[in-house]
Amino acid sequence: QNIFSPDGTIPKDTIFEYCRLYEQRIESFGGLDAVLLGIGRVGNIGFNEPGSRLNSTTRLILLDNDSRNEASKMFGSIESTPISSITMGVSTILAAKKIFLMAWGDDKAKMVKECVEGAVTDTIPASYLQTHNNAHVIIDLSAAGNLTRIHRPWLVTSCEWNDKLIRSAIVWLCQLTGKPILKLTNKDYNENGLSELLALFGSAYNVNIKIFNDLQHTITGWPGGKPNADDTYRPERAKPYPKRVVVFSPHPDDDVISMGGTIRRLVEQKHDVHVAYETSGNIAVGDEEVIRFLHFINGFNQIFNNSEDKVITDKYAEIRKFLKEKKDGDIDTRDILTIKGLIRRGEARTACTYNNIPLDHCHFLDLPFYETGRIQKGPLTEADV
């Protein structure tokens, strides 16, 4: 009896009156004491899309593609996601006594920055929260990553300078001034909030040389370390040699996409390279690929076994029937997910072979965290460790 979610199934010709009564019901309870919000990838709060006015109330709105994509996680696919929604309006939200906006993950970092530090504008409806005198933003460190106090703390406070923070500041200064490291001057530091570094190092020249050398020493053609060489200024130690290297690849292609050249160099330099694939990647395989492989194995059975393998013929018919009748949002059967996983395993083994990694060095973990058959993952448990 305490749940009053807008009813998205009502006839369209009654929506206007329904929204008016919804606002009236909120008023009958004495208004909203607290509102708990998320923030969308386009800066929306609720389904108040960019362009929503400050005085907007509960209403029917048309969802843009970004919002539909975000909402599709609840509906199984973009095709099953409604094109419109009833949303509480901006003015209704801002009339609450307290507002809490929550965001997790680096995919929300850009919009959190716009909401907290950007101008108040209808193109970022979440920025309206700046006008409320009791609004709170509750975020994790990843979502806070673009905020000035996290991303460029030297602009708002004195810093405890370490090598990582100094490098970050110098790279930012180079981007801001358009200059390479060795051409930065005392004036550049002073005019852009980095005078502390001048006091710490004595001059722009000293800090420039240090950071230039630090960055230069991260570049190497020997990712596993160069044997029988002085490793004082190399990013990886020379010994032991050869090394046993484990590459953790979340999906069965992340390894070659993100560091294929590095993997090949490690193999060429005689290191013992293994690749651990954390998920089967089955949900990324299209149904048409399953059908293609089914045709192959069924044809193989016909040519070399006169179709006498009953398991193959029965599975072929069963899976073809399921895929033909499959609707948007349906979860694949365990057999289909297994086949899709086998397809990804084959692709991964091909990539490893191309990089001269022995097949017994490919390790398929199929962690339960990933293996839900959906985009939404399961809880992290001891079985994943």
Nearest to 249 by CA among 217, 273, 213: 273
CA atoms within 13 A on the CB side of 288: 0
Which pLDDT tens digit goes with each residue over 304-352? 988 888 899 999 999 999 999 998 778 899 999 999 999 999 999 999 9
Angstrom distance (rounded) from CA 89 to CA 173:
42
Angstrom distance (rounded) from CA 313 to CA 317:
6
Question: 361 in a domain, yes or no?
Answer: yes
Among candidate residues 23, 49, 278, 308, the one labeled active-site is 49
Give me the sign of the Cα torsion angle 338, 357, 217, 184. Answer: negative
Which pLDDT tens digit goes with each residue over 171-199? 999 999 999 999 999 999 999 999 999 99
Let me know whether 250 and 378 are in one domain.
yes
**Are 39 and 47 contacting, i.e. CB atoms less than 8 angstroms apart?**
no
State which of 186, 201, 217 marks the end of a domain: 217
The enclosing H or E element of 18 equals: helix 15-28
Let me know whether 237 and 366 are in one domain.
yes
Let me know whether 204 and 57 are in one domain.
no
CATH number of the domain enclosing 81:
3.40.50.1360
State which of 217, 242, 270 marks the end of a domain: 217
Domain range enclosing 41:
12-146
* Spatial CB neighbours of 176, under 8 Å, sequence gap ≥ 6: 192
Query: What pLDDT band is residue 162 in, cutting at 50, 70 and 90?
Result: very high
Question: 49 in a domain, yes or no?
Answer: yes
How high is the pLDDT of residue 80? 79
Give residue 193's identity as a one-letter amino acid code: G
CA distances (Å), 18 to each of 13, 24, 47, 87, 128, in order?
10, 10, 17, 12, 25
Do you know the residue count of the chain? 385
Question: 19 in a domain, yes or no?
Answer: yes
Q: What is the total count of domains within the chain?
A: 3
Question: 3 in a domain, yes or no?
Answer: no
How high is the pLDDT of residue 258? 94
Q: Which residue has the tokens 């209403």?
A: 59
Which pLDDT tens digit goes with each residue over 35-86? 999 999 899 999 999 999 999 999 999 888 888 888 887 776 777 788 899 9
79 is catalytic: no
Let me know whether 176 and 231 are in one domain.
no
State which of 217, 232, 263 marks the end of a domain: 217
Let me know whether 259 and 275 are in one domain.
yes
Question: 1 in a domain, yes or no?
Answer: no
**Are 17 and 37 contacting, i.e. CB atoms less than 8 angstroms apart?**
no
